[in-house]
Structure 1
Amino acid sequence: MSLFGSLYVGASGLQTSQNALNTTAHNMANVDTTGYTRQQILLGTRSYNILSVNASSVAYQQTGLGVFYSQTRQVRDEFLDKTYRKESGRSAFYETNTQVIEEVEDLFGEFQGVEFSEALENLWTAIEELSKDPCKLTNQNLFVTRSKEFIQRAQLVYNGLSEQQDNLNTQVKTNVNTINDYGQQLVDINKQILKIETGGTENANDLRDKRNQILDELAKLGNISYSEDLYGVVTVKFEGIDFVRSDSVNKIELYQDNTTGFYTPYWSQLANYKTVNGEKVLDLDAARVYDPTQTISSDLNTDIGSTRALLLARGEKRATYHDMEDEEYYNTNISQSLLMNIQAEFDQLINKITTVINNVLKEAAESEPDTDYLKDENGKPYQMFEMIADDDNVGFTIGNIVINEDLVAEPALLSLRLQNGEEDTDTTQKLLDVLSEESYTLNPNLKTKTNLIKYYSSLISQVSNTGEANKEIAAAQAGAVNETFNSREQVLGVSSDEEMEFMIKFQNAYNASSRYINVIDEMMEHILNTLGR
């Protein structure tokens, strides 16, 4: 090779080493940047010049033309990426459940000491005092007062559960809007990457970092799958349905129920319409993003994403004791929803207490058929609790109960003195018996029976046990996420020590190329000065 040709070899070394140093400096500058992927230089040899071809030679006589900068690639492990995203989505699911349960525990106020449990205990104490002296006005007044307090506290708890549903509903809307925003960002980034990398001379690594970061965040919101084509364009499926395509996004729409205000995410491209009472109504059955009746299981990957957890915890309605009457319906539609399950169980407690107290008073009145004992002026038995809407289909639900205002105004109407002048201790004993009789279960799936006084404690214990179980799962899942994250970081993360080694290596390579050029330059100068005379 000529000396001038050798200069080009040295120049290629200088240029390549400089590019490698720039890449290393870029890595060092982003050592703490979230979502940044370590970049790696790939070097290649330039084409060889063939000097001569000799059939008897083992190889051609060739001269090299130096080194060239092939590309700067990202160092990632696709398997670890997919594992991390799935596990982080599962972690978000259980973390969301845990947060909801903690809010429920705060609502019940068991750690504050003065909440619904006190109202229930006060009601029991009032009945006990009434049984000691059924005809004492103070005891009658206390019974009515505690009954009113009991209903008011119950309504506060139930309204608090409903407010939690509304809060979760707002979060559902926020999550869906975020999901759609991420989808649009992915489409925009796809277009930019395609534009930059079409020529095949440059990799849009920083854009790819941004895209990977979005995929990480999207995976926490729901179950995603994705693939990248040969042009560098990523397509994404969300909950098994096409979400992000090469140049468009199928956004998730929200249907809002007119009664509850609850949002239901659905795919507009899958939605159908049906006619109900002459009106065109959206049919969500085939278009739902999430099936609320689907079994939650890690094997089915149905425990992934905070959005599913929010929808599941919120439920589809305000549950009442009616939702407990059909075991199959309960198991399919209610049992998996944290708030609906608690609402149904709590409403069942209130329904049973109000119903049994009313029934005891009614039986006492009817036991004296030809008298005005415990009856109003129309001969109708006095009831402690009344329905706001007199509809048996609604029944004594928490939202449909009010205390009898006649008894509030005149508690003496509950005077438990029989026509013969004796105290009606049988009725007060029945009140104690129906509340202490162990013949109730929290829900159709439980066999352990309890009484109406201990029912609430059992409900609180159930919430606590559910919370502890979710906390354990969430903690274990967080550990799995951290382990996967650390494994991934070992691949894509920037190590300052390692980059310093690369910097020294490329700096030495740069210096070596520089000295090589100096040697060629001195040789040329010597030839010209010595032979050129």
Structure 2
Amino acid sequence: MANGFGSLYIGQSGLMGAQNALNTTANNLANVNTTGYVRQQVRFADQEYATLKIASSTTNLQQAGLGVSIGDVVHARDIFLDKAFRLETGRESFYSTCYEVTTQVEDLLQELDGEQFANSIKDLYTAIEEMAKEPEDSTKQNLLLQKCELFLSRSASLYSDFKSHQSNLNEQIKDSVDTINKIGNRIYELNVAIQRVESAGVETAMTMRDERDQLIDQLSGLAKIEATEDQFGFVTIELEGAEFVIDRGCMNMNVLYDSDTGFDTPYWPHLSNDDTKTYIEVFNLTYDAKTENNTDIGAVKALLIQRGDHFGTKEDMASLESFSKIESSTMMEVEAELDQMFSKVVNVINDLFCPNMSIDDSKAILDDMGLATTTVMPDEIGNQDSVYQLHGSKSESNSYYIIGVQNGKTQIVATETAQILDEDKCYYGIDHQLPPRELFVRNSVDRYTQVQAGGRTVYVYNAEDVENSNTWYHLGTTRINDELQKQITLMPAYQKDGDVAYDLGAALSNAWASATLTLNPMDKNVTNFENYYNKMINKLATDGNIYFSASETLQATKASLENSRQQVTGVSSDEELTNMVKFQSAYNASSRFMTVISQMTETIVGLI
């Protein structure tokens, strides 16, 4: 009787084991297309054995087993494949984000309100060519003025679009920071919930583990992470080398606002000090993004690099040192290139209309005016130089002006940078007045400051001050001359003797076609204005192609790793259907076994 009923228990364990295996298989099949789902695999184990006779030299070990049980339901993952996949996900996100930014900039450059920006450059050159034929013709002058105004407005509009796109990238950075914080907080919540479920050692929190793994995969595309799971099932995460998800919670990041640019920079509040204004930034951008250094990981870092930390200007192109600070940023570089081109166009036209001469070239004029010289220290290292003093006609005192004007004020400057209007070579409008009207004017600084001495007036050029962007001829501070817009015949078109300045038109045409520009300090090939814009487009296209090739290669690597992961974690409908048949057959066998044992037991009881 005992053996009979023991056999029933064995049959029952077979039925229950097969039923649980069927349930697990059915769950796998139901989630065959569920993103992030990890297949569950049943592992059977023997139940306890009852020992009937100990093995000896004459007898074998005799045991009666109590059936089969579910030893474990495996949540199968390969940590090495996961780590490799997340690393390549971060790299692919970095380069695909960089490529997306360059593509958007290309769209802005090629189209502006339905017209290519290149057309405004060609139209301006056409107007210059027409004016070269008849400089005194008011129709040709008006055409040049219109095309200059169109070039200015389109350049300013394009520059504004670039700045707006930088602001858009900044919003994406803020949104990504919020997303990262939300993911980190949710991972910590899942850590706690998983530990609560699995602490008894009976059940595995399958669904919560799947969600947590999927969140870690998502986080790896946003930033560089290191995820480590301890023996209790708790996952800690380092983000960009700093603790992010730890046993005490999630160390959320915040953004630091720059009032000058409106940009936000992610930083670690728990590592920073508000009292001393010491802020530890999340992403270290002091190193170039390189694969060998693992510094080319994460979409947020790519957004920060491509956005940059300021709006690019021509001053960023002044030296290799200044250019090296922006060359990795598509936005700052293209802004600086556009501003440089605009400034070159403006200065070429203005300098031909209103040419200047250096102090060295004007010594005879200044000597004839009876001006004295004095020795000054124009720099900090004590180099002495003799400069002309001009009596300050603008001042109520008897102070002296030194030739050279900066920041709208006359002051001591090095003589080699000081300039005055070259009255013999300049061109005049129909009113023949001095100083001649420049075509492009700065909003806050006049081109010249009048200084009188010895009964004569000289016009001191207000040079651009490197430290004061308001004195630059650049986008945002420059407009078309209001006087010329009101009366076009005031445009310089005549020589000092009153003859038509045919040489002015020729000089404008030659200056436009001459190869005098380089794209940036690293570029050694000079070009003209029209080809300069083409070089801008080509440089941008080259960068975009590099980013595209890198992202495509990484996408293939990422796909290959995902296929390998799916072989471990993915659900195969064919395999699961095979298991379904196998476990159904096992269930049927256990059922028949119990039926036989039941009939046999009933017969034995009946005989008694």
Normalising TM by the smaller chain, what interval? Answer: over 0.9
CA contact (8 A) 2:426 2:436 kept: no
* Residue 452 (structure 1) aligned to one of 529, 534, 540: 529
For residue 144 of structure 1, report the CA deviation from its aligned partner.
1.6
CA contact (8 A) 1:317 1:340 kept: yes
1:128-183 deviation line (CA, Å, top 9, x unaligned): 11111111111111222211111111000100100100111111111110000000
Alignment partner, residue 304 of structure 1 = 297
Q: In the alignment, residue 147 of structure 1 is paired with which amino acid?
A: C
The more displaced of 343-352 and 299-308 is: 299-308
CA contact (8 A) 1:73 1:205 kept: no
For residue 206 of structure 1, report the CA deviation from its aligned partner.
0.8
Alignment partner, residue 347 of structure 1 = 339
The more displaced of 184-193 and 64-73 is: 64-73
For residue 522 of structure 1, report the CA deviation from its aligned partner.
2.1
Alignment partner, residue 96 of structure 2 = 95
Q: In the alignment, residue 289 of structure 2 is paired with which amino acid?
A: I
Bigger proportion of residues as helix: 1
Q: CA RMSD in A?
A: 2.1
* Residue 483 (structure 2) aligned to one of 406, 411, 424: 406
- Equivalent position SS for 2:355: helix
Structure-1 separation of matches of 2:106 and 2:440: 28
Structure-1 separation of matches of 2:320 and 2:588: 80
* Residue 427 (structure 1) aligned to one of 487, 504, 511: 504
- Equivalent position SS for 2:57: coil
The more displaced of 412-421 and 352-361 is: 412-421
- Equivalent position SS for 2:354: helix
For residue 423 of structure 1, report the CA deviation from its aligned partner.
2.1
Structure-1 separation of matches of 2:606 and 2:423: 138
Distance 1:371 1:259, change over 3 A: closer
* Residue 435 (structure 2) aligned to one of 356, 377, 380: 380
Distance 1:222 1:371, change over 3 A: closer
The more displaced of 216-225 and 371-380 is: 371-380
- Equivalent position SS for 2:250: coil
Alignment partner, residue 392 of structure 2 = none
How high is the sequence identity, in percent, across the aligned residues? 38
Structure-2 separation of matches of 1:61 and 1:295: 72
CA contact (8 A) 1:40 1:72 kept: yes
CA contact (8 A) 1:221 1:306 kept: yes
* Residue 571 (structure 2) aligned to one of 462, 470, 494: 494
Distance 1:127 1:111, change over 3 A: closer
Structure-1 separation of matches of 2:58 and 2:164: 88
Distance 1:89 1:376, change over 3 A: farther
Distance 1:509 1:327, change over 3 A: same
1:417-474 deviation line (CA, Å, top 9, x unaligned): 2243422222222222222221221111222211122211111121122222222222
Gaps of 5+ in 1: 274-279
Q: In the alignment, residue 119 of structure 1 is paired with which amino acid?
A: S
Alignment partner, residue 282 of structure 1 = 277
CA contact (8 A) 2:112 2:158 kept: no
For residue 90 of structure 1, report the CA deviation from its aligned partner.
1.5
Alignment partner, residue 178 of structure 1 = 179
Distance 1:54 1:501, change over 3 A: closer
For residue 329 of structure 1, report the CA deviation from its aligned partner.
2.9
The more displaced of 188-197 and 102-111 is: 102-111
Structure-2 separation of matches of 1:478 and 1:112: 35
CA contact (8 A) 1:137 1:415 kept: no
CA contact (8 A) 2:430 2:492 kept: no
For residue 344 of structure 1, report the CA deviation from its aligned partner.
0.8
Distance 1:524 1:441, change over 3 A: same
Alignment partner, residue 516 of structure 2 = 439
Distance 1:192 1:376, change over 3 A: farther
Q: In the alignment, residue 283 of structure 1 is paired with which amino acid?
A: T
1:373-401 deviation line (CA, Å, top 9, x unaligned): 35989832321111123362211121111
The more displaced of 365-374 and 432-441 is: 365-374
Question: 1:60-459 maps to which residues of 2 (within 5 A)?
Answer: 60-109=61-110, 114-273=115-274, 282-284=277-279, 287-331=280-324, 333-363=325-355, 366-369=421-424, 373-374=428-429, 379-390=434-445, 392=465, 393-394=468-469, 395-459=472-536
Alignment partner, residue 276 of structure 1 = none
- Equivalent position SS for 1:51: strand
Structure-2 separation of matches of 1:358 and 1:46: 96
Is 1:525 aligned with 2:520? no
Aligned residues: 522
Structure-2 separation of matches of 1:281 and 1:372: 58
Name which one, 1 or 2, has greater alpha-carbon Rg: 2
Q: In the alignment, residue 170 of structure 2 is paired with which amino acid?
A: N
Structure-2 separation of matches of 1:403 and 1:63: 103
Q: Which has the higher contact order (CA 8 A, sep 6+)?
A: 1
Structure-2 separation of matches of 1:26 and 1:154: 61
Distance 1:57 1:336, change over 3 A: farther
For residue 406 of structure 1, report the CA deviation from its aligned partner.
0.8
Distance 1:509 1:320, change over 3 A: same
Q: In the alignment, residue 344 of structure 1 is paired with which amino acid?
A: A
Structure-2 separation of matches of 1:42 and 1:388: 80
1:279-338 deviation line (CA, Å, top 9, x unaligned): x56333xx111123320111122222111111111111111011111312321x200001
- Equivalent position SS for 1:283: coil
Structure-2 separation of matches of 1:24 and 1:89: 34
| TM-score normalized by the length of structure 2 | 0.82
Q: In the alignment, residue 362 of structure 1 is paired with which amino acid?
A: C
CA contact (8 A) 2:37 2:570 kept: yes
- Equivalent position SS for 1:216: helix
For residue 111 of structure 1, report the CA deviation from its aligned partner.
9.6
Distance 1:45 1:131, change over 3 A: same
CA contact (8 A) 1:140 1:415 kept: no
Structure-2 separation of matches of 1:261 and 1:418: 49
Structure-1 separation of matches of 2:114 and 2:15: 76
CA contact (8 A) 2:343 2:474 kept: yes
1:471-522 deviation line (CA, Å, top 9, x unaligned): 2222222222222222211221111111111111111111111222222222
- Equivalent position SS for 1:27: helix
- Equivalent position SS for 1:2: helix
